[in-house]
Structure formats: structure tokens, C-alpha cells
Chain A
Amino acid sequence: MTQDPALLRRLLRAKDRMDAASQEEWPVARLARVSGVSAAHFAREFKTAFGVPPHRYLLTRRIERATTLLRDTNQSITDVAFQTGWQSLGTFGRIFRDITGESPGELRARQQSESLGAVGVPVCIERAARRPQLTTAVSEKRRRTAAGIKRATNRRSE
């Protein structure tokens, strides 16, 4: 499917806004407004353009920020969770583990014992290269189950 470059540029703006403020809430209606498309089309067009649904993209960015804070600061795990946009420490811990394979505490202990090794790479770019990948929708399924919402999962989107 070919998407119009003008549409892609506007979808990129929504992605950029999530990057810039991933701690904020980004319901589809808000993202759709940024992109100037209808809410009905936004999620599908975003996924076609960037390979993941917008909400899943947001989760990866939040976990990326949390990972950075855990490594670079001494803030408590609770503070990190609330600062990166999570309403509940339990949800943060579960999704963190789903994405990184470790608990926040384990990751902090391990990463603080490793240093940023790539001398000569701009830190902001190295960050992007270390961005965690969220290739499964485990957390989304969990949330739906927890909320008691049974929805048919589109297997192709997994």
C-alpha cells in the first residue's frame, strides 16, 4: 500500500509529538488532531507507516525513557514510573518486563555497572539506537483482559 508523502509527513508529526512528551496521554483523537486526519483513519495509517500501532509505539518510548532514568539517575523506581507516564507501579513493572525482559530494579543494577562505551557517537543518537523494541502485544492483551474487554485479536497485527 502506497501512502501519500504529505500524509506521512503529518503522521510523522504525531510520532514526533509522542517522542517529545511520551509521559503525556496520547489518545488516538489527540494524535489524529496533530496529524490532521480523522480518528477513524489515524491508527491504521500510523501502523501502515511505522509498523506498530500508535499506543504500542508510545509504550516503547516510555520504557526507553524509564530505562534512561533508571540508568542515569538515582530516582526511585516509583518516581521513574510516575514521571514516565504510568498511573500504576504494577502496570509499569509488568510492561517493563514484557519489553526489556528484566524488572526495573534488575535493569538498573546491570546497566549502572556498564558504561556508555561508544566514544564519538552523539549521546542522543546512541540513545535512539538503544531504543527497546516492542514486537509483541502481550501487554495490550493483558490490559484488555484486566479490563474485562474481550476483543478478537487481529493475528496479522501481532
Chain B
Amino acid sequence: MSQGVDVVGVYVRDQDEALAFYVDKVGFRVHTDVKNGDYRWLTVQHPEQASFQLGLFKPGPPVLDAATAQTMQAMVAKGAMPPLVLVVSDCRAAYEKMRAGGVEFTQEPVDRYGAVDAGFRDPSGNGWKMIQARR
């Protein structure tokens, strides 16, 4: 077996909304979507990255108490969560496609020393940098 990081999660305010965003607008696909009572384990995956899952988790009971969950929602909503980076082969093309699909971009593609990067947010407030590496 190969070892390594398998799942990293982000907090989202609504899992249906997040699923629609990451699948329909960003182009990921569902890996696992399992409900157990109120708890829903939901992960998506980049189509070219079978060894990694992005978890879309809603903070709340039974994992977090209501006040802590509210705090986490607030942190996500004010953009305080750590940066996420999506690597693409053509940043401008991805930008045009995603923007046409309704993705909220925070930064248009910018050329920096031969690399191109743009910024977008998911509906909850998680911030992504979309980077096209220097050729």
C-alpha cells in the first residue's frame, strides 16, 4: 500500500451548496457521500488526483458543540481559514470557464514571473489560489 495524506477537509456552511459548487463549477467529482443520522461524510476529488480527497464538512454536532460550530462558520465566512491552492495547466482558460459558471473570483489572473495566478472563493468563504506554474 502507498502511504500519505488521504483526506483534508474544509468547513462549509451548507454541504449541498458546497457539493454543487465543487462538482458543477470547479469540476471535481464526488468520492464519498455517506449519511449517519445528522452527520454527513462528504468528500470530493479532483478528476486527475485519485490519491487525494477534499472533505466538505459542516461544523456542528456531534463533533462540535453549537457555539463552537458558530465560531467556525464565522471564521470561514470572514475568510480566516488557511489558503488552498489549485494547480491548473491554463489559469486564464480555467478562469474564463469558472467565471462563466458563476464562481466568485476575488482576483483576476495575474502574471508573476512567468506563473499565472487567480483567486476565488467557495460560497462559504474558503479562499483558493488557482495557479498555473511557470513553464
Contact = CB atoms under 8 A, between A and B. Distances in A.
| A and B associate in one complex | yes
Interface residues of B, number: 25
A8 B108 contact: no
Interface in B6-30: 13
Contacts of B135: none
Contact of A124 (B73, B74, B112): B112
What is the size category of the interface that chain A forms with chain B?
20 to 34
Nearest to A9: B77
A112 to B, nearest CB: 15
Contact of A11 (B70, B78, B83, B129): B78
A20 interface: yes
A20 B77 contact: no
A8 B113 CA distance: 34
B121 A16 contact: yes
B107 A20 contact: yes
Contacts of B73: 5
Nearest to B120: A16
Interface in A123-154: 123-125, 128
B55 interface: no
Contacts of B83: 125, 128
A5 B129 CA distance: 22
Given A9-B125, A124-B117, A16 B106 contact: yes
A125 B85 CA distance: 10
A111 B124 CA distance: 37
7 contacts: A9-B13, A20-B107, A50-B78, A122-B117, A122-B129, A123-B115, A128-B83
